[in-house]
């Protein structure tokens, strides 16, 4: 990465915090946590539970009681993936973590691939685990789900003029300073759109964003949180951002 013709130097990563939002993940949280702790033993984990009716929060408390690397953030109710991650980011920054990782609770994101993301982050501001770069793939997904994901990323990339292949993926590693520079207080989007929003903000702010291939495996237990409302929100928000950006560029050229 170069900055004004000079090679940019990155400082040490610092302590890693893996943020795992949960809502009705009682069958998944313990095995996923075990795999994370095995893959990156030095990392800490924050389980952000949205008051799950199935008792996920209680299970998380029991796990945290036996592992000083695990913390639980109990939230009042289901407010969406974006809100849960933002709360986790703020908690992590307040507690001095140097790296904040997004990871699903359902096992779709392979914890064994986290070291690859962290290695790439040594020379970047943000690393995306990507399904749609060479070497990336999905397992056990219906074609309809893959079409939505691929199509959403392609549509966002073209409309927002962002040179990234997987804008909707949720397996990511941020440096704390990157998040602090993204204007998190202005982020109101959720789901797919939340992921697009953060990646777009990072590129627009001049941060160095890297994609590394991952294997995404569809969940075995529990229900997917994907819904028609999430897809619709992503479509209209991305469209609005894209149109607004193009209008600004056109007006900027007229005034030069």
Distance CA 25, CA 42 (A): 24
pLDDT at site 9: 84
Q: Look over the chain and give the mean of its residue pLDDT values, rounded to a whole number.
A: 88
Task: Report the pLDDT averaged over residues 186-201.
Answer: 83
Task: Report the pLDDT averaged over residues 219-231.
Answer: 60
Task: Report the pLDDT averaged over residues 108-134.
Answer: 97
CATH assignment of 13-254?
A: 3.90.550.10
Pick the residue with more confidence: 172 or 6?
172
Q: Which two tokens stand for residue 4?
A: 């004004």
209-213 sheet: strands from edge to edge: 70-74, 44-49, 16-22, 99-102, 172-175, 126-130, 209-213
The neighbouring-strand residues paired with 49 are: 22, 74
What is each CA distance from 85 to 8, 90, 155, in whole angstroms?
Answer: 28, 9, 24
The pLDDT of residue 188 is above 90:
no
Task: Report the pLDDT averaged over residues 74-84.
Answer: 91
The pLDDT of residue 252 is above 80:
no
The pLDDT of residue 2 is above 50:
no
pLDDT at site 79: 85
**Residue 228 pLDDT grade (very low, low, confident, very high; cuts 50, 70, 90):** low
Closest Cα to residue 173, out of 109, 235, 232? 109
pLDDT digits (tens, 9 = 90+) for 145-160: 788 878 788 888 888 8
Q: What global pTM score does this model have?
A: 0.86
pLDDT at site 229: 65
pLDDT digits (tens, 9 = 90+) for 29-45: 999 999 999 999 999 99
Domain boundaries, the chain: 13-254
């Amino acid at each position: 990465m170069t900055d004004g013709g000079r090679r940019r130097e990155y400082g040490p990563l610092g302590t890693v915090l893996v943020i795992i939002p949960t809502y009705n993940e009682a069958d998944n949280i313990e095995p996923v946590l075990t795999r994370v702790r095995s893959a990156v033993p030095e990392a800490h984990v924050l389980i952000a539970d949205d008051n799950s009716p199935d008792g996920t929060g209680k299970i998380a408390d029991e796990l945290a009681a036996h592992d000083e690397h695990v913390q639980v953030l109990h939230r009042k109710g289901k407010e969406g993936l974006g809100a849960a991650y933002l709360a986790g980011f703020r908690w992590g920054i307040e507690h001095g973590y140097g790296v904040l990782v997004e990871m699903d609770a359902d096992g779709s994101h392979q914890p064994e691939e986290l070291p690859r993301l962290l290695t790439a982050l040594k020379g970047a501001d943000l690393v995306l685990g990507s399904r749609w770069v060479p070497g990336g793939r999905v397992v056990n997904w219906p074609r309809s789900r893959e079409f939505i994901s691929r199509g959403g990323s392609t549509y966002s990339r073209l409309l927002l003029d962002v040179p990234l292949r997987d804008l909707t993926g949720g397996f990511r590693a941020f440096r704390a300073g990157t998040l602090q520079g993204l204007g998190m207080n202005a982020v109101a989007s959720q789901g797919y759109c939340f992921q697009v929003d953060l990646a777009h903000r990072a590129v627009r702010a001049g941060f160095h964003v890297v994609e590394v291939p991952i294997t995404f495996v569809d969940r075995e237990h529990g229900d997917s949180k994907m819904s028609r409302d999430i897809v619709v929100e992503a479509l209209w928000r991305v469209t609005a951002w894209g149109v607004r950006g193009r209008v600004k560029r056109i007006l900027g050229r007229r005034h030069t």
